């Protein structure tokens, strides 16, 4: 497998990150990934869910796993992205919890987990990657939401980093590294319209930033406006001379 860390990143980089990767979301991504591949050597980071919503287990998806293994051979990175990617904790009991877990997202799996439960799911995810002989350096919580127990669990595990929308955190000490990201909310027309404006403003402000993360989701691929935005933005950042890297490759140069 190619070692991206062998050559240091340029002063400015971009990270193309595919969220919520699972057997049933691959058809959403496939045409876009093929279009990116046609642009040249552009490594991607795939945030892989071991058993999406408890009905999409990787263990039963041989063809999908073989595709991911081919991506590893191309130099892509696989990251552990939750385990079930659904909030199955007891119902919320406060207004804040209700907002975070029922309005902001229904998928903040690690938002309310205690340390023991978080550790169990993280260890099961790590074991799955080992079973398939996939290298693993990072964990990203669904919706970037982590309980204090999750943070404590991460400090005990052989992982190198986690992240939120604007930072990486080196483990086990959670040392922050600024890494601004772009993300869309594409579930409705008005959300897509607002997302486009917000992301365009962010890109203009981040012109001199060392790195920009592009955080794509399967729903983005189902709408022409968001698909076009991501491809146009990727190509524009490449024309500016930004070096495309995986998360681990970029962190290796910091």
pLDDT in tens, 7-51: 454 589 999 999 999 999 999 999 999 999 999 999 999 999 999
Per-residue confidence (pLDDT) for residue 3, from 0 to 100: 47
pLDDT in tens, 69-122: 999 999 999 999 999 988 766 666 765 674 455 555 567 699 889 999 999 999
Per-residue confidence (pLDDT) for residue 185, from 0 to 100: 87
Q: What is the DSSP pairing of strand 181-183 with strand 161-164?
A: unpaired
Q: What are phi and psi of 85, to 5 degrees?
A: 60, 40
Tokens of 231: 């491809």
Q: Give domain limits for the chain.
A: 9-252
Q: For residue 77, what are the β-bridge partners?
A: 45
CATH class for the region spanning 9-252 = alpha beta
Cα 145 to Cα 20, 83, 95, 140, 236: the distances in Å are 14, 13, 17, 9, 30
pLDDT in tens, 143-183: 999 999 999 999 999 999 999 999 999 999 999 999 999 99
Phi-psi region of 87 (alpha: psi -120 to 50; beta: other; left: phi over 0): beta
Helix, strand, coil fractions of the chain, as percent rounded to 5: 45, 20, 35
Other C-beta atoms within 10 Å of 98: how many? 13
Per-residue confidence (pLDDT) for residue 113, from 0 to 100: 94
pTM for this structure? 0.90
pLDDT in tens, 194-222: 999 999 999 999 999 999 999 999 999 99
Give dist(CA 71, CA 252) in Å, integer: 20
Per-residue confidence (pLDDT) for residue 176, from 0 to 100: 98
Alpha-carbon dihedral angle through residues 164, 194, 234, 162, given to the nearest 10 degrees: 10
Give dist(CA 242, CA 110) in Å, integer: 33
Give dist(CA 118, CA 41) in Å, integer: 36
Q: Which helix (H) or strand (E) holds 106?
A: none
Give dist(CA 186, CA 112) in Å, integer: 25
């Amino acid at each position: 497998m190619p070692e991206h860390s062998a050559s240091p990143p340029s002063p400015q980089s971009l990270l193309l990150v595919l969220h919520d990767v699972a057997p049933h979301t691959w058809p959403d991504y496939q045409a876009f990934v093929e279009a990116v591949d046609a642009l040249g050597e552009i490594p991607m980071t795939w945030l892989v869910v071991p058993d999406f919503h408890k009905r999409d287990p990787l263990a039963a998806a041989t063809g999908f796993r073989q595709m991911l293994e081919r991506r590893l051979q191309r130099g892509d990175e696989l990251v552990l992205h939750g385990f079930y990617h659904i909030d199955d904790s007891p119902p919320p009991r406060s207004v804040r919890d209700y907002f975070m877990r029922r309005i902001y997202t229904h998928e903040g799996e690690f938002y309310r987990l205690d340390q023991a439960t978080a550790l169990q799911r993280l260890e099961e995810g790590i074991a799955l990657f080992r079973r398939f002989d996939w290298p693993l350096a990072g964990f990203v919580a669904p919706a970037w939401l982590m309980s204090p127990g999750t943070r404590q669990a991460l400090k005990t595990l052989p992982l190198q980093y986690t992240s939120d929308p604007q930072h990486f955190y080196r483990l086990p000490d959670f040392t922050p590294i600024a890494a601004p990201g772009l993300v869309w909310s594409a579930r409705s027309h008005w959300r897509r319209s607002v997302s486009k404006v917000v992301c365009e403003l962010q890109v203009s402000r981040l012109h001199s930033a060392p790195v920009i993360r592009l955080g794509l989701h399967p729903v983005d691929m189902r709408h022409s406006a968001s698909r076009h935005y991501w491809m146009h933005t990727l190509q524009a950042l490449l024309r500016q001379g930004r070096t495309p890297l995986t998360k681990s490759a970029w962190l290796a140069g910091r």
